[in-house]
Structure 1
């Protein structure tokens, strides 16, 4: 991986346990090896999602970017990384078998674990991932596990670059959308940022394109403002109004017309 760094102006290797142990530098793997599964915040999902990966077992590379450290997992000589579950595709061919491909994972370093969902950390991590996707060349998809989404590299770079330039939050990809059994549009991935998901009423979801645009605009606002704790009126682009109402558990925001 050290050969990749010259093309990544944002990052420097701050720690390589493989070299420290006297072995070859951590690198992209090939062939069959034992596999590990890690969640979005860099924790193993087994044992109650409480165990972080361990350098004694899992080869990882620490990258320093703008004063923040991120760990790159799935590198040889350690175990390969499982591909997270994917339910939503953004410009990715439906016949592409991502589960059969090698995966590397980028995660906030241990000192950032408590703030893995903060916007400064997410912005820096997505910017680094975008640079890596371009530099590696052979990347077929970028997976964002909180939204169970797989995003085509070119589309991923486009939406991240737009956000970094002051554009809208990348609500198509970093958040996903699906229609529930009653015909309402629901989000997946917003809760990573504010603890809540959106649920648009069936009446607001008849036009799927319009509903998705509305949801994306709401995501942009809610990622910045945080959780909704009381009924809130929201003005739509066409001059109308909708109501945002948190459910009793506070985990879902019901969106209805007025």
Structure 2
């Protein structure tokens, strides 16, 4: 996870822990879990992320300087990086930092290649941590497949599967995305799907969700 900051001078004043000569980092503790914050000056800068999706974030002007800091699970969490407590802890920590540092402009979530504006990120992650819906827009993204289907990017981090909304359900991209957001929340709660399940769309259409033969996708089609 990356925090994208304008200039970043206010973040640079923080005292860093010891590390390699070309890198400065902080160990951050949240609810008994430790995370590393890397990319602090005057150490080596973190490379800029490749942004494929933007949410509540205007295009960055060419003459504006930005830099990124990286939050990652600490060494003692090795092997458990994808567990729900660790992922939630990392997102909660990023949310906390957006509330304390005005220089932060966005949070970049690598699994979905998404840059999320700080206010939107703070809002949806806080709602989720307090028992609300999973922040599907941002922690996952939707891309159009060659055949016109809508397919998620980044959902496999959470459930080891991606969601695929088949044509003609995906013809209306806005409606297809709304449906996908509702289904993602359900799938994250139940932990994925290994068989078929019949559901009702908001407009009353009967749908079928079914795992693909290789279980990598959950396909959604009309019954």
Shorter-chain TM-score: what band?
Answer: 0.7 to 0.9
What corresponds to 1:200 in structure 2?
Answer: 165
CA shift for structure 1 position 134: 2.5
What corresponds to 2:17 in structure 1?
Answer: 16
What corresponds to 1:225 in structure 2?
Answer: 190
Q: 1:122 aligns with which of 75, 84, 87?
A: 87
Size of the aligned set, in residue pairs, is: 212
Aligned partners of 1:251 and 1:96: how far apart in 2? 38
**Unmatched 5+ stretches in structure 1:** 5-12, 19-54
CA shift for structure 1 position 84: 2.5
| TM-score, reference length from structure 1 | 0.75
Q: Does 1:91 align with 2:92?
A: no
Q: 1:95 to 1:102 in 2, by over 3 A?
A: closer
Instruction: Give the conservation status (yes or no) of the 8 Å contact 1:60–1:72.
Output: yes
What corresponds to 2:212 in structure 1?
Answer: 247
| TM-score, reference length from structure 2 | 0.86
Q: 1:255 to 1:96 in 2, by over 3 A?
A: farther
Q: 1:111 to 1:241 in 2, by over 3 A?
A: farther
What corresponds to 2:150 in structure 1?
Answer: 185
What corresponds to 1:144 in structure 2?
Answer: 109
Instruction: Give the conservation status (yes or no) of the 8 Å contact 1:247–1:254.
Output: yes
Q: 1:182 to 1:142 in 2, by over 3 A?
A: same
Q: 1:129 to 1:140 in 2, by over 3 A?
A: same
More strand by share: 2
After superposition, residues 47-126 of structure 1 pair within 5 angstroms as 55=20, 58-96=23-61, 101-126=66-91
Q: 1:171 to 1:163 in 2, by over 3 A?
A: same
What corresponds to 1:135 in structure 2?
Answer: 100
Instruction: Give the conservation status (yes or no) of the 8 Å contact 2:21–2:43.
Output: no
**Unmatched 5+ stretches in structure 2:** 1-7
Question: Which string of whole-angstrom CA distances, capped at 9 and with x for unpartnered residues, describes residues 192-243 of structure 1?
Answer: 1111111111211122221111111111111121232222223333443321
CA shift for structure 1 position 100: 5.4
Aligned partners of 2:189 and 2:76: how far apart in 1? 23
Instruction: Give the conservation status (yes or no) of the 8 Å contact 1:83–1:99.
Output: no
Q: Which moved more, 1:131-140 or 1:227-236?
A: 227-236
Structure 1 residue matching 2:115: 3-state secondary structure: strand
Structure 2 residue matching 1:172: 3-state secondary structure: helix
Q: 1:213 aligns with which of 174, 178, 203?
A: 178
Aligned partners of 2:187 and 2:65: how far apart in 1? 36
